[in-house]
Chains A and B, each alone.
Chain A
């Protein structure tokens, strides 16, 4: 099956610094990737849709200047949490849809990145 990787799996940073998280589709091309955030004991909340070669679409309430998304190729999307604060500590998960499957919405999820901001 389709495999999505994320790097790093865990990161601890100081408040005020920026952190970049990578999401890669390893064996398929993904024109669209999605970024989710999950707080403890809560469900996945969609943050943004990342489109290859164009600007990301952010969900209401998600600051686009704080969560920078770049989808530079068909296999890589990055999420940069800028000027991170403790309240940004969360589990960030990306997912990808395989290009060309216009009517089938299955998404393949990465293993997630645990961000802790001190």
Chain B
């Protein structure tokens, strides 16, 4: 089974930087996904980390520490459109298994 923990809500100011943390406990590990979900819409892929370290992709970066069971999503130069839920999904088993999501973090970007 999996235990995934994320903050429920966060608020940040337009133009700022925000870090969304995710800690997890899984029996196995085969990488970790971050998805973004706007209200009433489907989740969209942001990142997939397999190795330790930071992966940067434009304004969004994702960090993974396998030994600590810890990941974070870093959003820079926040825009109003970044207001959404951010879902962390560690992959427990390699192969044809479904993604199991944490409760997600609802980010509100304010002016």
Contacts and interface: CB of A to CB of B under 8 A. Distances in A.
A109 interface: yes
Interface stretch (A36-44, A62-70, A77-85): A36-44
B99 A107 contact: yes
Nearest to A103: B94
A107 B41 CA distance: 15
A111 B41 contact: yes
Interface stretch (B15-23, B42-50, B71-79): B42-50
B96 A97 contact: yes
Interface string A91-103: 1010101000011
Given A32-B96, A46-B98, A91-B40, A106 B87 contact: no
Interface residues of B, number: 25
B87 A43 contact: yes
Contacts of A49: 98
Given A41-B106, A42-B103, A105 B42 contact: no
The dominant DSSP class at the B interface is loop
B41 A106 contact: no
Contacts of B96: 31-32, 97, 102
Contacts of B97: 105
B98 A107 contact: yes
B70 interface: no
A105 B31 contact: yes
A106 B98 contact: no
B14 to A, nearest CB: 23
15 contacts: A31-B96, A32-B96, A41-B106, A43-B85, A46-B99, A93-B42, A93-B43, A95-B98, A95-B99, A105-B30, A105-B33, A105-B94, A105-B99, A106-B45, A109-B43
